[in-house]
Amino acid sequence: MERAYYVTTPIYYISGEPHVGHAYTTIVADVLARTARTFRPTFFLTGTDEHGQKVANAAAAAGKTPQQWCDELVPRWKALFAEYEIEYDDFIRTTEARHVEKVQRVFELLREHGDVYLGKYEGWYCVDDETFWLESKLVDGRCPTCGREVQWISEDDWFFRLSAYRDRLLAHFERHPHWVRPRSVYNEMMSILVEGLDDLSISRTNLEWGIPIAGGGVIYVWLDALLNYITAIGWSEDEARFHALWPAQTQLVGKEIARFHTLIWPAILWALGEAAPELVFAHGWITVDGQKMSKSLGNAVDPFALARRFGPGSMRYFLLREAPFGGDFSYSEEKIAQRHNSELANDLGNLLQRTLSMLQRYRDGMVPSTPASSEFAERFAPLPGKVRAQIFELRFREALESVWELVTALNRAVDERKPWVLHKEGRAGELDATLYDLCEGLRWLAVLLHPVMPERMSEMWRQLGSPGSLHEDWTLALVWGKLAPKTRTSPGAPLFPKIELEAQP
Ligand SMILES: [Zn+2]
C-alpha cells in the first residue's frame, strides 16, 4: 500500500460540552487533510477519550452511568465537527471494542516483555488532568498544569519502565530536532529529559471506569487514550493497513499535553517495536482576556453560536489567520467581524461580485478567450507550491498571506486597468484579457482556499461556472490559462455578507 498522510487530533476528553478550542485543533487537522487529499492517500483521525475518574465523576453528578453519559455527549462532538465542515476519515471512541481489546493486548505485550512491573504508587493525582504528580512538582500544593487541588493516592499499581527509555528519548530528540514543534515546546521537553524520568504508573486500582486488566484494576486513562492513534488503524490486526499509515506524519496536540505525546508516547511505541510519530505539533491556546478558555473557568464560548453568527468558513479563516499556529491568541467577536468584513467580504467577496457583474455586462456572462500572455502567469506560477509547503509546515497564517498576494494583485488589476474605461473606449482585446485574468485568478483562489473554507469556495466555484473538481491535484489544476473560454458563469448572492456588530456600550 502507498504510504499515506496520516494526521491526528487529540481524542477529546468527554467530561462536558465541546468548546471552540476543540473545533480549533480539529479544523487545523481538516485543512491539512483536505490539502493532502488533493495529491496523496490521506487519513484523518479524531475521536473521544471516554474513560477515567473525571468522566466517572461527571456522569455520577448527572445521575447517569459513564457509558450513558458518553453516548449522550459524543453526538455533540460529531455535530460540532459537522457544523465546522470537518471531514474526518474515522472517529474513534475509547469505549469501542476495537480499541478496548487492543489496549488489553498492549498491556499483555508490555508485561511479557518485562516493560511493566507491579509496585506501590504513593503520590498526588490531579483528577482534572488525570495526571500523577511528584510532590516536588506541585505548585503551592496544587496541580502545576491547572492549579486545582490534587488528591493523595496510595495503591498497588502497574508501572511502565519509562526511565529505561530516557537515553533513547534524548538521542531521538538530538537526532530529530524538528520532531517536536514549536521550538519552545521542544526545549521544555528536553529540559524534562535532562532532569530525568520516573517510571510511570499505568493502572488505577481504585477505579472502575476504564479498560480492565486481568487480575484487577483498570488501565491508566492516558495510556488508554494515547493508544487510540494505533488501535484505530489496525495495529496487531491488519499489518498492511497499519504500516501504510504509521508512523503518523502529523500529530496535533495542545501544549498542555505535549509531555504525554513526546516523552511517554514514543517510549510506549518503542516498547511495542513501533516507530515514533514524525511530528508532534503542540499548539497554543485561544484565550479570552489572556485566560485559557475552559468550561470550568466559565469563559468558554459556545462554538455552535459562533458558527451560526459568522459562518463556519469565516470562523475557520479567522482561527488560521489571526495568529501564527503554535502561539496563544486572544479571541474576540470584534476581531472575527473585522477580518470577515475587510478580508473576506471586501477583498475576496467583492472581487468575485464585481468580476461576474462586469462579465455579465460586457461579455454576456461568458469567459472570454485566453489571452496570448498574462502578467499573472509567470508571477504566480510558484504560488501553489509555496502555499502547499507553508500548509504542511503548519504556517497557516503565512499560507493565507501568500494567497492574499493574488487577491491583492487582482483587485489592483481592476483599479489600474479599469475595465469600464476599456469597454467605453472599445478596446475589446484588452478588456477580454483583463476579464480572463480576473476569472482565472478567482478560479485559482477557489482551489487554494478550498481546504480552509470548503463550502464557501465550492459556492464560489459554482458561481464561476468552473467544470471539473475542486479536489484535483494543484499541480494540474493551477496552470494559468487552464480556464476554458466560453465558460458560462452564474453570479449568485454575496459570498460573505457584511456583519454589523452592535455598538459597544
Ligand atoms: Zn490539573
Q: Is 350 within the bounds of a domain?
A: yes
User: What are phi and psi for residue 151, nearest 5 degrees?
Assistant: -115, 150
Q: What is the pLDDT of residues 149-179, one digit of tens each?
A: 999 999 999 999 999 999 999 999 999 999 9
> Cis (ω within 30 of 0) for the bond into 182?
yes
Residue 362 lies in a domain: yes
Which residues span the domain enclosing 391?
A: 333-477
Separation of CA 149 and ligand 1 centre (Å): 8
Query: What's the CA-to-centroid distance between 441 and ligand 1, angstroms?
Result: 50
Residue 229 to residue 234: CA distance in whole angstroms: 10
Per the domain annotation, does 133 fall within a domain?
Answer: no
pLDDT of residue 290: 66
- pLDDT for the residue 498: 96
From first CA to last CA, the distance across the chain in angstroms is 60
| Separation of alpha carbons 444 and 377, rounded Å | 11
Ligand 1 centroid–CA 151 distance in Å is 11
What distance in angstroms lies between residue 404's CA and the mean position of ligand 1's atoms?
41
How many angstroms is it from 335 CA to the middle of ligand 1? 31
Q: Evaluate whether residue 374 is within a structural domain.
A: yes
| Within-domain flag for 420 | yes
CATH of the domain at 345: 1.10.730.10
Would 89 be classed as within a structural domain? no
Domain-embedded: residue 217: no
| pLDDT tens-digit series, residues 111-134 | 999 999 999 988 899 988 888 898
Supply the pLDDT for residue 289.
67
Domain assignment of residue 381, yes or no: yes
CA of 11 to the centre of ligand 1 (A): 18
CA of 139 to the centre of ligand 1 (A): 11
Helix (H, G, I), strand (E, B) or coil at 402: helix
Number of domain units in the chain: 1
pTM, 2 dp: 0.95
Q: Which residues of the chain fall short of a pLDDT of 70?
A: 1-2, 289-300, 503-505
Contacts of 493 (CB under 8 A, 6+ apart): none
